[in-house]
Amino acid sequence: NLHVNTFYFMGGLLLLEKGEGTLAAQSVTPLRTAEYLAAKLLTLTLLAVAENGLIVLLVWGTAVHPLPLLLGLAPAAALYVLFGFLVVIRYDAVNDYLLPSMLASGVLLLPVLAYFGGWESWLLWLHPLHGALRLLQGGWGAPAGGEWAALLYVGLWVGGAFWGCRRVFGGFVARA
């Protein structure tokens, strides 16, 4: 649910805005690239956190620790939004976007598969979402250890992905 409502929602929004010409028109508005991206990032992240928080509340009730849950959900949602942007910006049609998006989704979901498969390795720390998953574990009272490192790590990934989105988007606007 988190993956679809962030990664693919961002993809759909961007394809719609491209099709309507609003992204090309954005280059002549006072809205800066960072502001546009921050608005998308903030709204989609808040929507995903609220939606997934409500789902967790309905399923688990008050047995969940809200702070670790929030600290895991928010950066995971932000990363999915930003990586969704990075994947879709190159495409103008849904048909062109679908296969590459599925490949990117598979790569993004690797730590989740490793988690359910019981595979634990230091190599997982190389994946951007691993830190967020470590934080999410704390929501169920099972701190995985290294929470501060995980928070810093996922924060660096969010910052790097945002920077990458700004660069890619600036190139798109110049090209359009």
- Is residue 146 helix, strand or coil? coil
Contact 158, 152 (CB under 8 A): no
Q: What is the pLDDT of residues 56-114, one digit of tens each?
A: 999 998 889 888 899 999 999 999 999 999 999 999 899 999 999 999 999 998 888 88
Q: What residue spans define the domains of the chain?
A: 4-107+129-175
Burial pattern 39-67, b for ≥16 Cβ within 10 A else e, equals ebbeebbeebbebbbeebeeeeeeebeee
Contact 49, 77 (CB under 8 A): yes
Q: What is the pLDDT of residues 113-149, one digit of tens each?
A: 887 887 777 788 789 998 888 888 888 876 666 777 8
